[in-house]
Chain A
Amino acid sequence: MTNTDRLVATFASSLNIEASQVVDGLEYNTIPQWDSVAHMVLVAALEKEFDVMLDMDDIIEMSSVGIAKEILTKHDVVF
C-alpha cells in the first residue's frame, strides 16, 4: 500500500466518505462530513497512521487533501 493509498483510506474512514471523494481539491468545511469535529478525528488518525505529531499550526493550515499531503511531506512522509 502506498502512502497515497494510506492517506486516502485514512481520510475516507475518518470522514466517513467514499475513497473516490478523497482528491487533492477536497477542502475542509465544503462537505458536511468534514467539519471541525471530524477534522480533529482526521488529525488524530493521520498522526497514528503516519506516526507523526502535527503542530497546532499544521492543524489550522490543513484545509484540503492537497495541503494535508504537503504538511505530511514536511514531516518526512513521501508521496
Chain B
Amino acid sequence: MQPASYNPSQQANKAVLITGATSGIGMALAQQLAELGYLVVVNSRSEASCKALAESIGGLALPFDVTDEAALKVAFKTLNGYLRDNELSLYGLAHCAGSMITQPFHFTNTAALQQMLNEHVTGTFLLSQWSSKLMMREQQGSITLLSSVVAQQGSVGQVAYASAKAAIEGMARSLAKELGQYGIRVNAVAPGVIDTPLIAELHDEKRNEIAQSTVLKRLGQPEDVAKVLAFLLSDQAGFMTGQTLAVDGGLQLP
C-alpha cells in the first residue's frame, strides 16, 4: 500500500543515485524507490551486479568506485548526459556504499584508517559535491548519508569505522547549512545492527546477543533502514534537514 499522499507522477522525472546499491541497505532502497516511481541510478563497483539490478528494477547502471575521484568525475559526466537526453533531473543521493573494519585498536594500522576515511568521508564529500551541483540546476534535492550507531556510542574494535561515521554526521549538518539556500536538504540515518553482509561473519550466539540488547529484541533488516531513507529523500520530509535519525530498534536508549 502506498502512502496517502503518494502520487507516481510526482516521481516520474526524478532520478536518485544510490551507491552501494547492489547489496544490503542500498539494494533494499533501490527496490523501494523503483516501486515508488523514481528512476534509480544503481551504483556499486561491480559492473555486472549494477547491470543485473538496474535491469530488474528498470533503473540505470552506473558502476564506479566512490573512492576513485577520476572515475567519479567520468561517471557524473555520463549521468549528466543520460539525464539530459531523458529530460530527467537528479533529485536524490543516497550514499550507502562502504565497508566496515572491525579489529582491536592496536591491530589497526593507518592503511585501515585511511581506507575507512576514503570510503566514508572522502566518498561522501565527493558524491555530495558532484550531486549537489546537479541538484542546484533545479534548486531542489535531497541527500541522505549513512552514519552508524557507533558514531555516537563508540564501539570496541571499531575506532577507524566509528571515526569515519562520526565525521559523516558533522558533514551532514554542515552540508545542510550550506546547501539549504539552494533548496537541497541533507540528512543522515544512523543504523544499529542490521542484518546485512557487513555482519555475515557474526556467529548465531553473537547475533542473538545483539538482538537481545535492542528494545525491540531483534536485528534490523535492510528494509527497516531503506524505509527511513526513502522518507528522508521524499517531499514528505520537505522541512527536515541536518538531522540524523537512529534506526536501531532502541539500541541507543539509556
A residues near B, CB below 8 A?
37, 40-41, 43-45, 47-48, 51, 53-56
CB atoms of A53 and B77 under 8 A apart: yes
Instruction: Report the bound CA distance from A48 to B139 in whole Å.
Output: 12
Instruction: Report the bound CA distance from A33 to B4 in whole Å.
Output: 43
B residues near A, CB below 8 A?
73, 76-77, 80, 84, 129, 133, 136-137, 181-182
Interface of B is mostly: helix
Nearest B residue to A56, CB-CB: B129
List chain B residues, Cβ under 8 A from A41: 136, 182
Q: Which of A37, A44, A51 contacts B133 (CB 8 A)?
A: A44
Nearest A residue to B133, CB-CB: A44
Q: A37-B181, A55-B73 are in contact. Are A45 and B80 (CB under 8 A)?
A: no
CB atoms of B181 and A53 under 8 A apart: no
Distance from A58 Cβ to chain B, minimum over Cβ atoms (Å):
11
What are 12 sample pairs from A and B whose C-beta atoms fall under 8 A apart?
Answer: A37-B181, A40-B136, A40-B182, A43-B133, A43-B136, A47-B133, A51-B84, A53-B73, A53-B76, A53-B133, A55-B73, A56-B129
Nearest A residue to B181, CB-CB: A37
Distance from B136 Cβ to chain A, minimum over Cβ atoms (Å):
4
Instruction: Report the bound CA distance from A37 to B182 in whole Å.
Output: 9
CB atoms of A47 and B137 under 8 A apart: yes
Instruction: Report the bound CA distance from A48 to B181 in whole Å.
Output: 19
CB atoms of A44 and B136 under 8 A apart: yes
